[in-house]
């Protein structure tokens, strides 16, 4: 265990967690919504510090982050737990743990060891991913600070529910994030995830204010968020509040976990979503979870030529030079060095 950050004492040995936007009030002996932060005699503890449930070396494109050191490798880690309870979670086996799983699952991986493994594998970054990095914040932040000293970047793959206080604290050590913007309906957000749309939008604005590089992912689920109105609203929000250079990843849904009643996302729906994003003014819209097509490639927003050609998560050809288009010299948005 490790005493948690961002919490307040309340009467009768209760505590209030300030780490994420749920701001759980937790009675003595209870746990927060994430299931991995526990109130023991009026003190809040993280139950997953230094205990990983997953580690892998991934292409940075798998996060997906297409404008962060393209073609590099990212050492990726997670603990159990998540503050969302998404009915379509692809990693529910580790994101929705039982109490016994929290106590027993995983393996010891202190921050120093995680960074050493990343360096040994030739990775350029560490990604805090697979579940929700907010709920293992203390572990992620300690790792990120060590990684920064070793010259590595740090990236979050997140549902966008971190509190402004916590995000501001880690901002000097966090280079980029891919944030899920799942729906543009508060009712759907509440029903499918348990979260609130406005809280996610507020978090995205904080990322923008803190100058942390952002890429947005929307998993397009037939019948829930695949209409032109919803997709257009998401695209306009990104353009208007995050900026037209913000990449938007529109990805295919596959039936899983507690959402087996929906079909796979047709490729035509993804192509239409990409067209909606480009029509709204976005300069980089990518299609994910399907094979083929130009939706994987990065185009120069000025000359229109292909700067990075991809096949799945791997690069087939590149023409960027020091963060600029190799054809016309236009600066490319992102983290390139």
Q: Using one digit for the tens of pLDDT, what is the confidence trace for 161-192?
A: 999 999 999 999 999 999 999 999 999 999 99
**Residue 255 and residue 269 in one domain:** yes
203 part of a folded domain: yes
Give the three-class secondary structure for 6: coil
User: Does 87 lie in the same domain as 41?
Assistant: no
- Tokens linked to 46: 């993280």
Q: Based on the fold, state whether residues 195 and 225 are members of the same structural domain.
A: yes
Q: Report yes or no on 337 lying in a domain.
A: no
Please count the other Cβ atoms lying within 10 Å of the Cβ belonging to residue 303: 12
Is the domain of 210 the same as that of 310?
A: yes
Asked, for residue 335, whether it belongs to a domain, the answer is no
pLDDT for 290 = 83
Answer whether residue 330 is part of any domain.
Answer: no
What's the confidence (pLDDT) of residue 311?
Answer: 87
pLDDT of residue 320: 74
Confidence class for position 130, pLDDT limits 50, 70, 90: very high
Are 226 and 301 part of one and the same domain? yes
Residues 196-201: contacts with CB under 8 Å, at least 24 apart: 196/21, 199/21, 199/161, 200/159, 200/160, 200/161, 201/237, 201/241
User: Based on the domain organization, do 40 and 57 belong to the same domain?
Assistant: no
Stretch 217-222: mean pLDDT:
98
Give the SS3 label for residue 257. Answer: coil
Same structural domain, 32 and 77: no
| pLDDT of 32 over the 90 cut | yes
For 35-87, what is each residue's pLDDT tens digit? 999 999 999 999 999 999 999 999 999 999 999 999 999 999 999 999 999 99
Q: What is the secondary structure of 281-332 as a DSSP string? A: T-S-EEEESS-SSGGG-EE-TTT--EEEEEETTEEEEE-EETTEETTT--B-
Separation between Cα atoms, residue 256 and residue 172, nearest integer Å: 36
pLDDT at 93 > cutoff 80: yes
Domain with 149 in it: 51-325
Angle at which helices 228-237 and 267-280 cross, to 10°: 40
Looking at the fold, whether 319 and 200 belong to one and the same domain comes out as: yes
Residue 149 lies in a domain: yes
Residues 32 and 86 in one domain: no
| The pLDDT of residue 19 | 98
Q: Which of 74, 70, 66, 63 is nearest to 246 (CA)?
A: 66
Task: Determine the pLDDT at residue 312.
Answer: 82
| CA separation for the pair 258, 325 (Å, rounded) | 44
Could you tell me if 59 and 155 lie in one domain? yes
Tally of domains in the chain: 2
Average pLDDT for 187-205 = 98
% of the chain residues with pLDDT over 70: 100
* Residue 331, domain member (yes or no): no
Q: What is the CATH number of the domain that holds 62?
A: 3.20.20.70
Query: If pLDDT is split at 50, 70 and 90, which confidence band does 281 have?
Result: very high
> Is the domain of 21 the same as that of 76?
no
Residue 197 domain flag? yes
As a whole number, mean pLDDT of residues 208-233 equals 98
Residue 242 is assigned to a structural domain of this protein: yes
- Pull the structure tokens for residue 68: 């962060």
Same-domain pairing of 155 and 262 = yes
User: What confidence score (pLDDT) does residue 179 get?
Assistant: 98
């Amino acid at each position: 265990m490790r005493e948690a950050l961002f919490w307040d004492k309340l009467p009768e040995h209760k505590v209030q967690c300030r780490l994420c936007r749920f701001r759980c009030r937790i009675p003595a002996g209870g746990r927060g919504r994430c299931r991995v932060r526990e109130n023991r005699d009026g003190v809040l503890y993280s139950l997953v510090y230094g205990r990983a449930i997953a580690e892998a070396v991934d292409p940075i494109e798998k996060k997906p982050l297409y404008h962060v050191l393209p073609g590099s490798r990212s050492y990726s880690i997670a603990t159990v737990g998540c503050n969302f309870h998404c009915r379509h979670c692809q990693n529910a086996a580790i994101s929705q743990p039982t109490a016994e799983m929290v106590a027993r699952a995983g393996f010891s991986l202190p921050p120093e060891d995680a960074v050493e493994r990343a360096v040994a594998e030739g990775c350029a970054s560490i990604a805090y991913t697979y579940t929700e990095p907010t709920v293992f914040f203390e572990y992620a932040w300690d790792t990120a600070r060590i990684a920064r000293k070793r010259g590595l970047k740090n990236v979050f793959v997140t549902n966008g529910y971190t509190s402004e206080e916590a995000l501001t604290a880690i901002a000097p050590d966090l280079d980029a994030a891919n944030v899920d913007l799942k729906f543009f309906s508060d009712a759907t957000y509440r029903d499918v995830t348990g979260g609130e749309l406005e809280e996610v939008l507020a978090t995205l604005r904080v990322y923008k204010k803190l100058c942390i590089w952002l890429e947005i992912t929307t998993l397009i689920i037939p019948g829930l968020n695949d209409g032109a109105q919803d997709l257009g609203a998401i695209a306009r929000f990104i353009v208007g509040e995050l900026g037209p250079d913000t990449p938007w990843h529109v990805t295919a849904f596959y039936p899983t976990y507690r959402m087996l009643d929906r079909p796979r996302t047709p490729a035509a729906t993804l192509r239409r979503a990409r067209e909606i994003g480009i029509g709204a003014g976005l300069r980089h819209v990518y299609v994910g979870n399907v094979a083929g097509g130009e939706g994987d490639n990065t185009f120069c927003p000025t000359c229109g030529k292909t700067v990075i050609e991809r096949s799945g998560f791997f690069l087939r050809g590149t023409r960027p030079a020091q963060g600029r288009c190799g054809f016309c010299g236009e600066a490319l948005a992102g983290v390139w060095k």
